[in-house]
Structure 1
């Protein structure tokens, strides 16, 4: 099971996440108003720090919609994963795939509110355009995206997964104590791992090794 922790802004957080046993580190760029949004040079610094741990793979997490600019940023930072966290269309995935080096993974977030996802009807189009995997995440009633601490219903997540031919990560308010809420999702053949943010943070709001380790241990233990 992959464990992705999102929203690092300091080298100390990078090392905390690596020490806790996570695999992927989300670094925000072009996330307007995001508390963890990074300029391109800082993104590159933290991506290098992640790779230097020998464990973490940095993931560029973005609301961006300019394929050429995103590919240039990914090349500058040396990130082999790009997560499109927003309502980008399949055409952007297609353009981005054409711009990126072979082997770069494109993750498309599917946003879920209640029991529906506005992108559900585009799953096949995203796959044809070059999406490698999906990430299922919950939105709030007022439309906020990402790091909302809102959870998905297990049956809704599993039903969306049934419509995919690509693997997926599960996000949305995941904590050490709620793994047992997702039996159908965890048993799905496409399930690849989890993505978390809030549950990995300490009292000061920074990513914390102990909190992250608790999360990793709980979700990797049957």
Structure 2
């Protein structure tokens, strides 16, 4: 199971994620107004810090929609994955896949509001365009997406996964104490891991190593 911790902004946080046993660190860039949004220079620096840990893969988390710009950012920073948040179209995935080296994995977020997903009808198109993984995340009733701390409904998430042929990650309000609520997702053959933000943070608002380790232990438990 992959464990991804999202929204690191400092080298210390990146190291804490690695030491806690997680696999992926999410680095925000092109998230206007986002509390963890990084400049291109900071993105490259933290991606380098992730590589230096010897275990972490870096994930560019972005609302960006310009393939050429995103491909250049990926090349300049050396990130390993790109996670497309927001409602980008399959055409962007196709254009981006054509510009990226094969080693860079493309993740498309699917936003679930209640029991519905506005992108559900596009899943096959995303797959044909070159999506490597999906990430299922909650959108709030007022339209907010990304790091909302709102959990998904297990049955809704598992049902959405049935329409995919690609693996998927689960996000949305995941904590060490609510793993038991996602029995259907955990049993799904294409489930590959989790994406956590709020539950990994301490009182300062920064990613905390002990809290991250709690998440890793709880979700990797038999």
**Normalising to structure 1: TM-score of the pair?**
0.99
Matches for 1:3-82 after TM superposition, within 5 Å: 3-82=3-82
Give 2:186's aligned residue.
Answer: 186
- Whole-angstrom distance in 1 between the partners of 2:128 and 2:219: 31
2:127 alignment counterpart = 127
Which string of whole-angstrom CA distances, capped at 9 and with x for unpartnered residues, describes residues 99-145 of structure 1? 10122100000000000000000000000000000000001111111
In structure 2, the partner of 1:109 is: 109
Instruction: Give 2:177's aligned residue.
Output: 177
Q: Name the counterpart of 1:85.
A: 85
Aligned to 2:159, what secondary structure does the other structure show?
helix
User: How far 1:97 moved relative to its partner?
Assistant: 0.4
Alignment of structure 1 residues 122-201 onto 2, 5 Å: 122-201=122-201
Residue equivalent to 2:94: 94
- The SS at the match of 1:35 is coil
For structure 1, the 5+ residue unaligned runs are none
How far did 1:159 drift? 0.2
CA deviation string 1:9-57 (max 9, x = no partner): 0001001111100000000000011000001110000000011000100
* Unmatched tracts of structure 2, length 5 or more: none
Distance 1:177 1:80 in 2: 30
Range moving further from structure 2, 98-107 or 166-175:
98-107
Secondary structure of the structure 1 residue equivalent to 2:108: strand
CA RMSD of aligned residues (A): 0.5
Note the alpha carbon deviations across 1:59-111, whole angstroms, 9 max, x for none.
00100000000000011110121000110000000000011012210000000
Q: Normalized against structure 2, the TM-score is what?
A: 0.99
Whole-angstrom distance in 1 between the partners of 2:104 and 2:129: 14
